[in-house]
Amino acid sequence: MRWKKLLFNWRVILLLIFIISSFASIYANGITYGLDISGGTAITVKLEKPVDSTTMDKVVNSLTNRINRLGVADVKVEPWGNEYIIVKVANVSAETVAGIKDTIEKQGVFYAAFNGEVFATGEDIVQVFAFQVEQSGTWHVPFQLSQSAAEKFARLALGKPNYPVDMFLDPPVNSLLVVSPDLYNTMLTKFNTPAPDALSLPERIKNAFNIDTLIYTNQTPDEIVKAAEGKELVVLVDVNGGLEKYLEEKNLNVRVVERGKGETDEELVVRTLGLYGPYSVSEGLTTGQASTNVEIKGSSPNMYLAQQEASVIAVVLASGSLPIKVHVEGTQFISAELGKDFKRQVLIAGIAALLMVGAIVYAHYRRFKIAIPVVSTSLSEIIIILGVAALIKWNLDLPSIAGIIAAIGTGVDQQIVITDELLGSREKTRITKRSGMLKRMGRAFFVILASATTTVVAMSFLFKFFVGGLRGFAFTTILGVLIGITITRPAYAEIAKFLLGEKR
């Protein structure tokens, strides 16, 4: 009879409903874990300078699009404050991570030039279609040009088959390249198409971007300063770094490009200029007819490389121009196995902590009737928090778990407050009427409400103003406290009232 009464108490029913739907939610949606638990790579990207939220959105969207085009399944691009972006990728190979880093850093302004004459920029690329790769390693990237760019190209290319088309991503515009004689030779000979009258690469970049190339033969720094007059930037390509300091002292903007491990001259030139190409123009395009649907064709030694190269070109074409420069600042790699270990540990440690709570509560009150409800109420709180997290697909990361611990900890505290008020009312004034107990419960709930409000307000600040890891902490703490005061605590009070009142 009494049990029935408890079971039909609406607070208890509410708790039961929530527990059952939480199980259903966890079962149906599964729990999404954060990177620090499930394993993966976090790449920290720094913007050139702090930006407002609209610009930030643009950068985030653009990066997301471009990384998605690389075919990586699970990528999250999250802003972190107004100057950083964190790119999170679930378990992928180290090569893929390197590819993503490349793509992030290779952002910037896109140019397409015909024989040293720019005919299109990123804005002229209307659409990039799916690329095709053939068994032989030949690939095609079809795309749509704007009408004006197509017309300009038609005019430039008229009667000039086999002339070179270069594409550039973020070339060092209006600069002085300082290169070794060998490197200069490579620029002259390795970047030509079968059109004898076409310009050489140094001439083409001079025409297109006002980039002068200086052969470094141990000139004095002053001579270089003189040559750099009117330039925005001096690029030292694999030449003695001692120049850097001197030039910087002369208030010149200096960029040092060092040769990477095993990098060939050709690769070095390509990297320095952000060059893709040259591609030679086929005869069909030199009739003066403007065509907006064009394609870039190339060939690689095998299908796998072709796939890669085509996807990079497609991404470069589609990138348009990011509103601001970005660069990769750090990476964080967590192995999936380590994460799995961690999950198990949290589970075991959590259960141990709960049992400990039960044991200590029992030691204090010497009553299972208190210890068991306290532990099971906390357990149901955890289940409901996880259920809600699963429902909204919240990424459960380390700080979120810390938040759950915080919520459960304060929860246990509050249950003890309720218990003591109940016991106190029973022990001291057995004769007082029910109203006495209600008053005491009211006081317990004042304490609970005051501390819950405080925690929620304090954590709301965190949640609203921060975007880093601490946000997860704030979220689960608030969630836990809210669930506590609305669902689990009232139910616990009913259950405790029932169990403790039974003896009377």
Which parts of this chain interact with other proteins (CB under 8 A)? 44, 46, 80-81, 83-84, 329-335, 337-338, 341-342, 345-346, 348-350, 352-357, 359-361, 364, 398-399, 402-403, 405-406, 409-410, 412-414, 416-417, 420, 424, 443, 446-447, 450-451, 453-455, 457-462, 465-466, 468-470, 473, 477
Q: Which is nearer to other proteins, 228 or 405 (CB)?
A: 405
- Residue 20 CA, distance from chain mean position: 34
CA-CA distance, 399 to 392, in Å (whole number)?
17
- Residues contacting 4, CB < 8 A, separation 6+: none
At its nearest, how many Å lie between other proteins and the CB of residue 306? 28
At its nearest, how many Å lie between other proteins and the CB of residue 184? 32
* Cβ contact 177:137 at 8 Å: no
At its nearest, how many Å lie between other proteins and the CB of residue 482? 13
Q: Which is nearer to other proteins, 24 or 336 (CB)?
A: 336
Q: Which is nearer to other proteins, 320 or 403 (CB)?
A: 403
Q: Following DSSP, what letter does each residue of 297-329 receive, concatenated?
A: EEE-SSHHHHHHHHHHHHHHHHT---SS-EEEE
At its nearest, how many Å lie between other proteins and the CB of residue 46? 7
Q: Which is nearer to other proteins, 23 or 362 (CB)?
A: 362
Q: Which is nearer to other proteins, 287 or 460 (CB)?
A: 460
At its nearest, how many Å lie between other proteins and the CB of residue 204? 37
Q: Which is nearer to other proteins, 14 or 328 (CB)?
A: 328
* Cβ contact 281:162 at 8 Å: yes
At its nearest, how many Å lie between other proteins and the CB of residue 274? 24
* Cβ contact 109:169 at 8 Å: yes
CA-CA distance, 383 to 109, in Å (whole number)?
50
Pair type for strands 138-145 and 40-47: unpaired
CA-CA distance, 496 to 368, in Å (whole number)?
11
Q: Which is nearer to other proteins, 195 or 353 (CB)?
A: 353
Q: Quote the tokens at residue 488.
A: 């689990």
At its nearest, how many Å lie between other proteins and the CB of residue 42? 8
Q: Which is nearer to other proteins, 45 or 120 (CB)?
A: 45
Q: Quote the tokens at residue 318.
A: 């589609």
CA-CA distance, 459 to 479, in Å (whole number)?
10
Q: What is the DSSP letter of 33?
A: B
Angle between helices 470-483 and 434-465 in degrees, nearest 10: 160
Helix (H, G, I), strand (E, B) or coil at 252: coil
* Cβ contact 281:167 at 8 Å: no
Total Cβ atoms within 10 A of residue 351: 11
At its nearest, how many Å lie between other proteins and the CB of residue 472? 9
- Residue 432 CA, distance from chain mean position: 61
Q: What is the DSSP letter of 131?
A: P
Q: Which is nearer to other proteins, 282 or 335 (CB)?
A: 335
At its nearest, how many Å lie between other proteins and the CB of residue 353? 4
Place of tokens 């030292």: 236
